Amino acid sequence: MHVLAPARRPHPGVILAALCGLLLSLLFAVSPSSSAAGTGAAATDYQAENATLSQGTVATNHTGFTGSGFVDYTNVAGSYVEFTVDAAASGQSALTFRYANGTTADRPMNISVNGTVVASGVSFPPTANWDTWATKTVNVTLNAGSNKVRATATAATGGPNLDRLTVGGSTGAAPGMAVAPYEYFGWGSPPNPTAVMSATGVKWFTLAFVLSDGGCNPAWDGSRPLTGGDDQAKINSIRSAGGDVIVSFGGWSGAKLGEKCSSASALAGAYQKVINAYGLKVIDIDIENTEWSSATVRQRVVDALKTVKANNPGLKTIITFGTTTSGPDSTGVDMINRAANSGLANDIWCIMPFDFGGGTSNMGTLTTQAMEGLKARVKSAYGYSDSVTYAHIGLSSMNGKTDDAGELVRLADFRTMLAYAQQHHIARLTYWSVNRDRACGSGTDADSCSGVLQQPYDFLKVFAQYTG
């Protein structure tokens, strides 16, 4: 297995305004209609029967619809409804589809904005019957002015019956701890986390890495203090902005606490110092390199996590490690089985599906393949049902060029991963890293950019649509 390598390695006019407001009020008084939603922000309804249709028909043979009818997708894959919607300014907005699905099977659709699919395989699960309506919200980024929003059926059975699209208002559930991108404050020109929050809607970050200071004592990168420094100041700013953090222990390089602490109790004590310093709700053990290769250390980590979970009711633990394209290798299988046999109720088993060594380009497909392998191993070890197993697994990808020459994780691959997460409701959908989520410039360190053409946070904006 080619596990994580260098990129995760830490190193050295009043009137005019009034007239405009009046015109907007008049505009929203006619179709499309303006309403209040969520927290009271303006929202606009667009009736499906007034949109552009392909292979769908306007129908009225079921009750409960709004407007003059609804759209029947006519059981055709590729049929779509396309709305022309307006946004006062560019930025994140909620798209809320009102639909009915009287069958017993999901009718997924792809959602595109201005010709680009921004959410693949969005689930439109069954409602009680065709006269029962439900809503599905997808958070997207709209341009200022006119936008084309298309909902396309992906299954042979077509899409659900579609009543209307509401744009704006509440953006629905914000991305939670499942989408907690890694950020490293030690290098890579780290972006201001509160600016990332404003641009993408994310609330959580996974901060890397806590290491050994040479003994069994935790420090950022093995050298920066837990309290009183820039790291704590940034954590405080994230929380002041309504967010929270996961602290990650380990990574590829540096001295690992799992090795420097000579016993499980000592290691648990080191973890506890960090938990106490920040009042953490979640910790991530990114176990790699020599810490990963030692069975003794792996068992020490398992036993230490049992202790901290017992001493911190409600604390969630994540174990993150490398993978093959078919799932965990023999060491990964041993780690899962070792934890299960030791009675560790680990909350999330998270793989890093990249650096496969083959210069592959279909990384979305390979990631879902590896996730199915992980799912099988966790299910076997713990005896969970399928749905419970998915709720205990996750992935941490890498955006753009990875450490392997020729290996590229594209935005399309992130959309494939998002669709998989939405289908199975996995516990974690994240990536390495916010530092890299921007195009490279002259003299930019490869660990500070993605290596591909993109706008800032393009990759995160895909994952930020996931709400669990």
Claim to verify: residue 274 and residue 155 sit in the same structural domain = no
Claim to verify: residue 190 and residue 124 sit in the same structural domain = no
What CATH number is associated with residue 109? 2.60.120.260
- In-domain check, residue 19: no
Claim to verify: residue 200 and residue 319 sit in the same structural domain = yes
- Residue 173: pLDDT band (50, 70, 90) is low
∠ CA 418-380-328, rounded to 5°? 55
- In-domain check, residue 34: no
Choose the final residue of a domain: 168, 191, 209.
Answer: 168
Claim to verify: residue 387 and residue 407 sit in the same structural domain = yes
- In-domain check, residue 335: yes
- Residue 170: pLDDT band (50, 70, 90) is low
- In-domain check, residue 157: yes
Claim to verify: residue 187 and residue 336 sit in the same structural domain = yes
- In-domain check, residue 193: yes
Claim to verify: residue 62 and residue 102 sit in the same structural domain = yes
Q: What is the rounded distance in angstroms from the CA atom of residue 45 to the CA atom of residue 85?
A: 9
Claim to verify: residue 258 and residue 125 sit in the same structural domain = no
- For the whole model, what pTM was predicted? 0.69
- In-domain check, residue 26: no
- Residue 12: pLDDT band (50, 70, 90) is very low
Looking at the 3D structure of the chain, how many domains does it have? 2
Report, as an integer, the average pLDDT of 302-327: 97
Percent of the chain past pLDDT 90, that is, above it, reads 74
Q: What is the rounded distance in angstroms from the CA atom of residue 267 to the CA atom of residue 274?
A: 11
Choose the final residue of a domain: 168, 189, 218.
Answer: 168
What domain range includes position 58?
39-168
- In-domain check, residue 21: no
Lowest-confidence pick of 76-80, 138-142, 351-355: 138-142
Choose the final residue of a domain: 99, 133, 168.
Answer: 168
Residues with active-site annotation: 288
Claim to verify: residue 112 and residue 207 sit in the same structural domain = no
Average model confidence (pLDDT) across the chain:
88
Claim to verify: residue 316 and residue 183 sit in the same structural domain = yes
Claim to verify: residue 78 and residue 223 sit in the same structural domain = no
pLDDT on residue 135: 84
Claim to verify: residue 65 and residue 85 sit in the same structural domain = yes
Report, as an integer, the average pLDDT of 152-175: 84
What CATH number is associated with residue 453? 3.20.20.80
Claim to verify: residue 164 and residue 61 sit in the same structural domain = yes
- In-domain check, residue 194: yes
Give per-residue pLDDT as tens, 101-146: 999 888 999 999 999 998 888 888 888 789 888 888 888 889 999 9
pLDDT at 98 over 70: yes
Q: Per the structure block, which two tokens stand in for 88?
A: 């006062």
